[in-house]
Structure 1
C-alpha cells in the first residue's frame, strides 16, 4: 500500500514549528512497514527548511521516505497537472476521526487489513480486499451494508 504519514503529532509530539519528542514506536513501526514493502510518503504541513528538518530527523533514525508532500520524488512546482493532494491508500495522522491510535494498533490494522469501529471490523481501502473489478473503491456505507447483508454485523 501507499501510506501517507503526517509528522507533527504523529511521528513526534506536536511542538510545531519545533520538533517534538519522538512518539514511542512510531519510527520502528514505519520502518517495519517499509520492510513489508509498503511505500511511505511524508505528508506534512511543513515546507522548506522546516520540512528538511523533519526529513533529517527521520533519516537520522534510519527512516527514509519515498517522497515528501508529493506522490513521486521527481514532482516539482505547482504547474499544470500538479496537485498537492496525495494519491495514497491510507493516511496516518493525529487529526484522524478518533485521534491517533497507539502505533502497535496502527501496525495491526495495516497487517490485518481492517480496523475495529463500534465493535465492527471495517476493511481498509487499498488493502486488496475492498477493490471492485472496475478498480473503483467501494465507499464505507456500501461496505457496511454488504457486511450487514452477510450477517457479519
Structure 2
C-alpha cells in the first residue's frame, strides 16, 4: 500500500517538473500569438474606423492598450478558474458532510445550490473581467488566445 503512495508522489514530481520545464515554451508561443492578434486588430481599427477614440490613438498607444488588456484578461481568467475550483471543492465538502447526515437528498440539494452559486460567480466574473475593455470599445473576442 505504501508503494502506491510513493509511486503517486514520484509521478507527481515528474509531472510537475515536466510542466515547469515546458511552461516557458508555451508562454512564448501564446505571447507571440497575442501580439499577432493585437497587430491584426490594430490594422482592423485603422481600416474600419468605427471607434473614433481608438482610431485617434497612435499605433504604440493602441498596441500597449490591447496587449495589456489581453494580459489582464488572461490573468483574470486564471483567477476566475481558481475561484471556481475553490467553490467546487467547498461544494463537494459541504455536500459530502450533508450526505453523511441527511443522505442523498442533502447531497443533491447542496450540490444544486453549489452549482447555482458557481454559475452566478462565473457570470459575474466574466462580466467583471470584460468591462474595462468593453468600456473602451474593444472587441474582446479578437484578443482571446486559447
Question: Which one has the bigger strand percentage?
Answer: 1
TM range (shorter): under 0.3
Which structure ranks higher in relative contact order (CA pairs < 8 Å, sequence separation ≥ 6)? 2
Q: TM-score, normalised by structure 1?
A: 0.20
Q: Which has more radius of gyration?
A: 2
